[in-house]
Amino acid sequence: MKTYNLFKFTPLVALLLLSSCGGKGTSRDSEETSQKRKVRVEEVRFVPVDQLASFTATVEADVRNNIAPAMGGRIRNIYVDVGSSVRKGQKLVVMDETNLSQQQTQLATLKRDYERYQELYKVGGISKQQLDQLESQIQVMETLINNLIENTTLISPIDGVVSARNYDPGDVALQLPILVVENINPVKVLINVSESYFTRVTKNMPAEIKADALGDEVFNGKVSVIYPTIDPISHTFPVEIKVGNPNQLLRPGMFARVTLNFGTEDHPVVSDMAVLKQTGTDDRYVFVEKDGKAVYTKVELGVRINDKYEIVSGLKEGDRVIVEGSAGLIDGAEVEVESVR
């Protein structure tokens, strides 16, 4: 039987063991180094930022008038149609004049009677009270006829454009107005502003308006009305803005975007590459490099300025924000800074 001497192999085994131990230590060090994510950071600096707030609204006519008689009646003539430009005082509609003619005939009779009563009063044929009563009847009748004239010949109370026509000659006007006339120079937009701006919105404050239908064309307006109460549910308050519209490009019903400028404040700005969105929420965050580690930091965004975001809260001056290499990072991960902007 052949036997082997273990001690003959001892030097070789020892050498292999030492080699194995040394190699393992070197591999661990290399692995730890390779696990550090290489990143680029940007130091946070405060810069002046325009405090812009954007709102959506619908363009409305400055004044809107429904043209209709005080009481329903038959329409004799309509002199304008939808789209017609009209002037203040222009005759638009004539209603049936039968009732007006009857009242005018009665008034003429009363006036003739009044002349006879005056002669009788002079010779003592009637009392002063009878004369005064007839005079009062004439005044009442004149008031009634003036009202009938206003409701028989309908005129435009404003300069504007006819935006609706609901009847034709011969129809009997009942519930709907015969015509709708709107003044579209200027126009107005009504926006709902957050209560946080309540003390900062002032009358005649400038505003910029864009309409989606008109591309990038900017219209200048001014705050004309600030409503004095705040909605307890939405915590907003209405603000009305008048907008000059000499070329009548803005039309009632257009979707508009309104921008108000609340001045300038110093805020940090960071590259948009640094800002990440929390999955499943609207929360935004960045990673700040601190002592070789990535620190999760929730931020509140302001306006976007080219390729940067204004940061309203969450960062302070001098923070080192990771702008490259942040994808897939977790809070506390070790990082290696390659460069600083």
Kindly report the three-state secondary structure assignment for every residue of 16-64: HHHHHHHHHHHHHHHHHHHCCEEEEEEECEEEEEEEEEEEEEEEEEEEE
Question: Quick one: which H or E segment has residue 115?
Answer: helix 98-122
In this prediction, residues 67-85 reach a mean pLDDT of 93
Determine the pLDDT at residue 14. Answer: 40
- pLDDT, residue 266, reads 87
pTM attached to this predicted model: 0.66
Q: Per-residue pLDDT averaged across 232-258, rounded?
A: 95
| pLDDT digits 0-9 by tens, 124-156 | 878 888 888 888 898 998 888 888 888 899 999
At residue 48, the pLDDT reads 86
- pLDDT higher at 68 or 48: 68
pLDDT tens, residue by residue, 210-219: 999 999 999 9
C-beta neighbour count of 166 within 10 angstroms: 16
CATH class of 54-60+183-263: mainly beta
Greater model confidence, 13 or 281: 281
Angle at 88 between CA 87 and CA 92, to 5 degrees: 75
The pLDDT of 52-70, averaged and rounded, is 93
pLDDT of residue 113: 85
Pairing of β 179-194 and β 206-211:
unpaired
Tell me: pLDDT of 26 over 70: no
Residues 6+ apart with CB under 8 A from 220: 206, 207, 208, 209, 243, 244
pLDDT, average across residues 50-62 = 92
Cis peptide before 186 (omega within 30 of 0): yes
Look at residue 34 in the predicted model and tell me its pLDDT.
Answer: 53
pLDDT of residue 3 exceeding 50: no
Ordered by start, the domain boundaries in the chain are: 37-49+265-340, 54-60+183-263, 69-173
Q: Which residue do the tokens 């390779």 mark?
A: 34
E strand or H helix that includes residue 128 = helix 128-152
Q: Mean of the pLDDT values across residues 167-191?
A: 94
Report CA Rg, the chain: 42
Decide: helix, strand or coil at residue 106.
helix
DSSP SS3 for 183: strand
Q: Does residue 330 surpass a pLDDT of 60?
A: yes
The three-class DSSP label of residue 217 is coil
Q: Which residues contact 115 (CB under 8 A, 6 or more apart)?
A: none
Question: Is pLDDT of 9 > 70?
Answer: no
* Residue 186 contacts residue 72 (beta carbons within 8 Å): no
Across 76-80, average pLDDT? 96
Mean pLDDT across 184-204: 94
pLDDT tens-digit profile of 260-306?
998 888 888 899 999 999 888 889 999 999 999 999 999 998 888 88
Listed in sequence order, the residues at least 6 apart from 58 whose beta carbon sits closer than 8 Å to its beta carbon are 189, 190, 253, 254, 255, 256
- pLDDT of 90 > 80? The answer is yes
For 37-49+265-340, CATH number?
Answer: 2.40.420.20
According to DSSP, the residues that pair with 298 across neighbouring strands are 285
Q: Is the pLDDT of residue 16 over 80?
A: no
